[in-house]
């Protein structure tokens, strides 16, 4: 439970840790490497703990000390990933590629993750079948056999982030050239490709719509040190916190281009933003102005992972705004909680109609997913009175000690 007393402006510096959505596929990719990897800047979040558990089940040794994480896979052995483990997070699906590279076999319970939509894995499995991987499914598990894997030309039905990453990893185990088209272009995909290439892979085109992999078929064997990119969604969340509460923040360690679609929305109307190579200085000078439309889209469009937080920002804006969520079917589940705090929001399918109000008020609210939880924290920071937020385990999936970070910036927020 978090207790948040609204009304304080935020001032100071915030160092952004490694990106959850980069660290997780990179952790799974370590299974493709029969050696040690030292990752730097790894956040203490429960999704990383869950991935550590999965690697541990496979006989890997994972030591997370401070922001360093040492992963040794020398004694890795094939093990299926149970519904309990796989169900904890969507990223368990990233184990498919590495398991097929290392063991040529995989048995994975259907992945879990935030309840923001159906989240099928059909695009992942279609790409595996294109590469001649034998895929069998039942209610609970997916079974894959890559004994006769072949390179292939793959076209993704949708630029899925996870499918792009998984198939990029699988293609490393097929000897020859694979071409993956209609790829997602997120910075985390570029980061994973860079990590794999530093292990000895040959991947070109990551960050564009076509990725070419020259598969070598065998496990890598290099001990390296690697620093994943910083978390653009965490950075965007703190930038919005400043824009909503007022004050001035230096958001450090993250490339501003990775969340420019978010910054452009707030710099137009309520903040002065100065851009540096790997930090931004943000000064909030006015109440948020309404935005006619905010439409989520694959990168470099407005990120769906900032949609919930942006709704909290628009909830106190000086007019009417419309949010359009194109990526997931049910990503407005925190709206009723914001309405409990006095927000005026109506949801109709993919659209949320937000009428800005002068003030929100504190309330007892419950997070229902990771980014929905973040939006309730932002609302609590500006609400009159006390907000009690339950469901903080969702927040802890992707934000490293968010209460301590915000408290260090002047917010009145305590973990009860
Ligand atoms: C990744 O999820 C991120 N998670 C998500 O972040 C993020 O919201 C999402 O990409 C979109 O940017 C991680 O990287 C661990 P998708 P992923 O495959 O890979 C449909 C957060 O808050 N789809 O790009 O699961 C899917 O249902 C999380 O940090 C299929 O239909 O997202 C969705 O509608 C939430 N079939 C759309 O594609 C498939 O096989 C985009 O999903 C795969 C996806």
Q: How far is the CA of 161 from the centre of ligand 1 (A)?
A: 6
Q: What is the pLDDT of residue 93?
A: 86
What are residue 2's phi and psi, to 5 degrees? -110, 140
Q: What is the pLDDT of residue 22?
A: 98
- Above 90 in pLDDT, residue 120? no
For the Cβ of 183 lying below 6 angstroms from any atom of ligand 1, the answer is: no
Sheet strands (E) in 111-266: 134-137, 141-145, 153-155, 176-181, 203-204, 210-215, 224-226, 247-252
Q: What is the pLDDT of residue 87?
A: 72
3-state class (DSSP) for residue 346: strand
Same structural domain, 45 and 142: yes
Mean pLDDT of 45-63: 94
pLDDT band at 80 (very low <50, low <70, confident <90, very high): confident
Mean pLDDT of 277-290: 92
Same structural domain, 164 and 278: no
For the Cβ of 162 lying below 6 angstroms from any atom of ligand 1, the answer is: yes
pLDDT band at 332 (very low <50, low <70, confident <90, very high): very high
335-353 pLDDT, tens digit per residue, is 999 999 999 999 999 999 9
Q: State the closest ligand 1 atom to the C-alpha of 233, by its place in the atom list counted from 1.
A: 29
Q: Which of 48, 60, 114, 242 is catalytic?
A: 114
User: How far are the Cα atoms of 127, 141, 246, 379 from residue 386, in angstroms, in the given order?
Assistant: 49, 44, 18, 11
Same structural domain, 167 and 248: no
Mean pLDDT of 263-270: 85
Least confident of 3-12, 55-64, 71-80: 71-80
Same structural domain, 66 and 215: yes
For the Cβ of 328 lying below 6 angstroms from any atom of ligand 1, the answer is: yes
Mean pLDDT of 184-193: 98
| CATH at 181 | 3.65.10.10
What are residue 352's phi and psi, to 5 degrees? -125, 125
Q: How far is the CA of 24 from the centre of ligand 1 (A)?
A: 13
Same structural domain, 165 and 291: no
Mean pLDDT of 254-269: 90
Domain final residue pick, 198, 226, 254: 226
What are residue 181's phi and psi, to 5 degrees? -110, 160
Same structural domain, 48 and 103: yes
The DSSP 8-state label assigned to residue 91 in this structure reads G
- Above 90 in pLDDT, residue 176? yes
Same structural domain, 42 and 6: no
For the Cβ of 265 lying below 6 angstroms from any atom of ligand 1, the answer is: no
- Percent of the chain past pLDDT 90, that is, above it, reads 87
Whether 242 is catalytic: no
Same structural domain, 196 and 130: yes
Pairwise CA distance, residues 367 & 374, whole Å: 8
Domain final residue pick, 181, 200, 226: 226
Q: Range of 54's domain? A: 20-226
The DSSP result for 299-310, as a single string, is TTSB-GGGHHHH
- Percent of the chain past pLDDT 70, that is, above it, reads 99
Mean pLDDT of 228-233: 98
3-state class (DSSP) for residue 103: helix
Q: Is the pTM of this model over 0.75?
A: yes
Q: Which residue has the higher pLDDT, 410 or 119?
A: 410
Pairwise CA distance, residues 269 & 115, whole Å: 32
Q: How far is the CA of 182 from the centre of ligand 1 (A)?
A: 15
Pairwise CA distance, residues 400 & 46, whole Å: 9
Q: State the closest ligand 1 atom to the C-alpha of 304, by its place in the atom list counted from 1.
A: 8
For the Cβ of 344 lying below 6 angstroms from any atom of ligand 1, the answer is: no
Q: What is the pLDDT of residue 118?
A: 74
Same structural domain, 149 and 256: no
For the Cβ of 31 lying below 6 angstroms from any atom of ligand 1, the answer is: no
Mean pLDDT of 124-147: 94
Same structural domain, 88 and 144: yes
- Above 70 in pLDDT, residue 140? yes
Structure token pair of residue 101: 């590279």
pLDDT band at 268 (very low <50, low <70, confident <90, very high): low
Same structural domain, 265 and 288: yes
Same structural domain, 59 and 167: yes
Q: What is the pLDDT of residue 83?
A: 73
358-412 pLDDT, tens digit per residue, is 999 999 999 999 999 999 999 999 999 999 999 999 999 999 999 999 999 999 9
Give the residue among 289, 321, 287 at the shortest CA–CA distance from 307.
Answer: 321
């Amino acid at each position: 439970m978090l207790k948040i007393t609204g009304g304080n402006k935020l001032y100071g510096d915030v160092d952004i840790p490694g990106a959850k959505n980069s660290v997780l596929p990179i952790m799974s990719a370590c299974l493709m490497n029969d050696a040690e990897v030292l990752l730097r800047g790894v956040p203490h979040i429960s999704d990383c703990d869950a991935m550590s558990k999965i690697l541990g089940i496979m006989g890997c040794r994972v030591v997370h000390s401070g922001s360093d994480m040492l992963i040794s896979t020398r004694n890795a052995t094939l093990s299926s990933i149970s519904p309990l483990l796989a169900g904890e997070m969507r990223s368990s699906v990233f184990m498919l590629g590495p398991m097929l590279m290392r063991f040529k076999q995989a048995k994975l319970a259907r992945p879990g993750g935030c309840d923001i939509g159906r989240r099928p894995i059909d695009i992942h499995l279609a790409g595996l079948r294109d590469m001649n991987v034998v895929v069998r499914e039942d209610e609970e598990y997916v079974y894959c056999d890559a004994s006769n894997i072949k390179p292939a030309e793959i076209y993704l039905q949708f630029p899925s982030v996870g499918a792009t990453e998984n198939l990029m990893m699988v293609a490393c185990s097929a000897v020859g050239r694979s071409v993956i088209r209609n790829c997602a272009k997120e910075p985390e995909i570029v980061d994973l490709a860079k990590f794999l290439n530093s292990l000895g892979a040959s991947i070109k085109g990551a960050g564009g719509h076509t990725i070419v992999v020259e598969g070598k078929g065998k496990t890598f064997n290099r001990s390296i040190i690697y620093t994943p990119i910083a978390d653009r969604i965490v950075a965007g969340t703190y930038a919005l916190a400043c824009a909503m509460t007022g004050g001035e923040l230096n958001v450090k360690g993250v490339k501003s281009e990775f969340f420019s679609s978010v910054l452009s929305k707030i710099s137009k109307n309520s903040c002065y933003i100065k851009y540096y190579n790997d930090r931004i200085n943000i000064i909030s000078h006015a109440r948020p102005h309404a935005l006619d439309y905010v439409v989520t889209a694959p990168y470099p469009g407005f990120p769906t992972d900032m949609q919930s937080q942006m709704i909290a920002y628009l909830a106190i804006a000086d007019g009417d705004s419309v949010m359009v969520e194109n990526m997931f079917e049910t990503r407005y589940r925190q709206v009723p909680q914001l309405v409990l705090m006095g927000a005026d929001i109506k949801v109709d399918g993919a659209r949320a109609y937000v009428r800005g109000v002068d003030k929100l008020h504190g309330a007892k609210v419950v997070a229902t997913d990771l980014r929905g939880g973040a939006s309730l924290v932002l609302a609590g920071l500006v609400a009159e009175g006390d907000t009690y937020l339950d469901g903080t385990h969702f927040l802890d999936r992707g934000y490293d000690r968010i209460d301590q970070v915000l408290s260090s910036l002047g917010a009145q927020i305590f973990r009860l």
